[in-house]
Each structure stands twice: as structure tokens, then as C-alpha cells.
Structure 1
């Protein structure tokens, strides 16, 4: 029997989702912004690509990643931002490793270091460090991720503390829901709710999300994306 069906009451389900809701470019896999304590399988590669529509601009993301050494995941991608006034492209470079593997019904921890910079400027851009800690429940059908990190904004010279708490709830073998709260810049934190569906298990995923800042206003956004995964692409 699927673990989700074993929940003894609707009240318990509501509590689990609430834990996730009240639970810099890093993420636990589309459509989440919060990262997890896991990496791609050794020698495997993955492409996360999505379109995010904000009130004043549209972002086009492409983040290919590969596990190049067994415990080191390298990401090299870009984001194209288009608005009525401007168009610009930023490069994303990121490395991730696992310090403790996430066990089923256990916990794990990782380390992420990255850099995001305008392609027409110096590669010394916005530097970030993040430590994701993940917790597994219900045989991996319910995951909670806690992030804490540091971000250096090159243009302003400011150093900021970043954080995030999110959850993944697998409701069928192929479909799951995500919820999260995170702060990656100055001002109030964001929240985001998402859904993902495996068209081809462990190979092709589609997903979508809605998010906003807690002060509301013109900060809401929508996204839709896909994830392509390949095993043993690296010799």
C-alpha cells in the first residue's frame, strides 16, 4: 500500500503540508528554490530548464549538471532575463557535494558553492555558499529540507544571510507537491507552491509553480519547466 494512503486522518495530512509551508540559485530540484542534501547519480547528467514569468519580466533558465567524480556535482548554465526596458544574460557556475548521504527515514547534509555573474561583466559576481540538510519520513514519501547560507552581492558589496525551509510530498508514484519559504536577498521572504509529474520515471519530468513575496504586491510569479535525466553520460 502507498504510504500516503496510510495517513489516519485528514488532519494529519494538513499538518504535514503545513510543516512544509512553515518549514541563491540553488534548488532541491524543480520546481523548488530550496536545495536538498543529494546529488545526481555518479557519471549521470541532468538538465533543468524552465520559464518564469514575473510581473515586469520573463526569465528563461537552463541549468545542466553532471556528477563528474562520484561525489561532486558541477552545474554550468545561464538565465536570460527579458523586460520591456532591457535584456541581459547571467552565467551560473555551481559545485555541490554531499557530506552525509540522505538515508531513507534518516537525514543528510550537503555543501553548495556557486557564482552568478553578468556575461558581459567580470566573472567575479554574486558568490554564495549554502548548507542544505534534509530529513526523510514515510520511506522517502515526505521530505523536509532546511537551508542556511551566505550571499555576497557584488554590485552593492553587501553580505547577506540566506535561509529556506521546504517540503516534498509524493502523492502517487509519479506525482508530488512541493511547498517552501525562503529568503535569498534583502526584504521579506518568498513562498512557493509547486507540482511535479514524472512522464518517464527518472528520465523526464514536467513541473509548475506559483510564488510570491509575503508583502504581496507585484512580486508574484509563475513557472513551468522540464527536467531531463541521463545515467552514465560521463565516462
Structure 2
């Protein structure tokens, strides 16, 4: 999602979005409709890089925890730290997801994701920057194939602007715990991103993931991330 933000905030949001936080189904930036049950929790860690053509790269990491609290809802807290040249930035997210229609078998699942993001430059203070709401749908398309669709609203305080966001993604289960996926996503202010990714379930508790994405904006941006998820 690209907005015209002050330069000192770009580092925080470039990698924050790239890491696929806000409860997204890593390594996708696209959200899925599934919600953790009460008492179920997940911890995630991600490192990432975003590189606009001809410009300095942004590198960073994100740590996130999420737990189901009942009433078809999960809550998440994520922290991101990123660096571009000599400029550091950080961001803090508090979000959640509530199931409107729980997915059963190959049926349709519908959820509402929501969140607040605060950010600060290296010498600044943490300030509220983003608010978002996201309608999420997930459904099995065919045997071994699952599709996801998102449609949302995003408010940037620094840009004093609202954006419409959208995501489309598909996953394919290869077997032996390996899933491949592709997605396209963006907003009404910039050209879309195209991404591919892979996930490997090492066990029923631990999975590893990686993705690569590109945005044919001017300048063109390439990005990658790798991460893990631990369920408990």
C-alpha cells in the first residue's frame, strides 16, 4: 500500500507491509478468514528487505504474537524495526480479526480484520499513523487449492488520506507440508504488487515461510522476506 508519507516514515511502513503483519497468513500479504480458537496462540518472526530501483534499500524485522480470545475473535500485537541508510524507524501494531462466517470443510469463510498502527522516526515519538478495516473471504476452489480475497479501507494520518485496499491470493498444497502461493494486491493510489511465496510445515507446531514481491511503480520496487510461525 503506497501513500505519500513523510520520508522518515517510509522505512517503517515499507518493511512493516512487506513482513505481512496484521494477522496475515504468512508469507502472504493477503489476509485469510480463519480465526484462532480461544486459548490458541501463535508467535511469528520475520526479516525483510525492500529495494526501490536506484534508491537505498530498507531492511528490518518484525515480531508478532496473536491469540484467540473467544467470541470468534483473535487479537495480535506486532513490533517492527527498520533501517534505510542512516535512518531508523519503528512501528507498533495492535489488531484483530473476527469471524463473521466460520469456514467449514470447503465452504466459505468471512471475517473482519481491524487494526491501529503507530510509528516513530529514530529521534521522534510514537504517534498514531494508520487505521484499517478489512473484509476477508476464504474458500476452497478445488482439491488442494484455496483462494482468499480482501477489500478494505486504510487511513493515513500523516498523509491525511483514505485509501481503498484490495488483495487476491491463491494457495496450492503440494503435500508433505509444502504450500505454494501467489497473490496480487494494492490500493487506489499506486500500481499493484505481485508476489509469490512458499510455506513448509516442519511439524504441527512450527512452519517456515518465504516470499518475493515486486511493484511496477516508478521507481520499481522489489522485496523479499523470510519468517517462521510457532503455534502453542
TM-score, with normalisation over the residues of structure 2?
0.83
Report the CA distance shift for 1:27/1:88 in structure 2 as closer, same or farther (over 3 A).
Answer: same
TM-score, with normalisation over the residues of structure 1?
0.82
Corresponding residue for 2:49?
53
| Aligned equivalents of 1:156, 1:113: Cα separation in 2 | 20
Q: Which 4+ runs in 1 deviate beyond 4 A?
A: none
Whether 1:198 and 2:201 are equivalent positions in the alignment is yes
Corresponding residue for 1:21?
none
| Aligned equivalents of 1:182, 1:76: Cα separation in 2 | 23
- Gaps spanning 5+ residues in structure 1: where? 1-23, 231-235
Report the CA distance shift for 1:227/1:185 in structure 2 as closer, same or farther (over 3 A).
Answer: farther
Structure-to-structure mapping, 1:122-137, within 5 angstroms: 123-137=127-141
Corresponding residue for 2:3?
none
| Aligned equivalents of 1:121, 1:64: Cα separation in 2 | 23
Corresponding residue for 2:162?
159
Secondary structure of the structure 2 residue equivalent to 1:200: coil
How many residues of Structure 1 are paired with residues of Structure 2 in the alignment?
205
| Aligned equivalents of 2:86, 2:187: Cα separation in 1 | 24
Structure-to-structure mapping, 1:74-93, within 5 angstroms: 74-93=75-94
CA shift for structure 1 position 32: 0.4
Whether contact under 8 Å (1:106, 1:137) holds in the other structure is no
Q: CA RMSD in A?
A: 1.8
Structure with greater strand share of residues:
2
The CA deviation string for residues 110-146 of structure 1, in whole angstroms up to 9 with x for no partner, is: 001101111554553200000001111345x211011
Corresponding residue for 1:168?
171
The CA deviation string for residues 185-223 of structure 1, in whole angstroms up to 9 with x for no partner, is: 73111011000101112x100111110003475410111
Structure 2 residue corresponding to 1:145, chosen from 138, 148, 157: 148
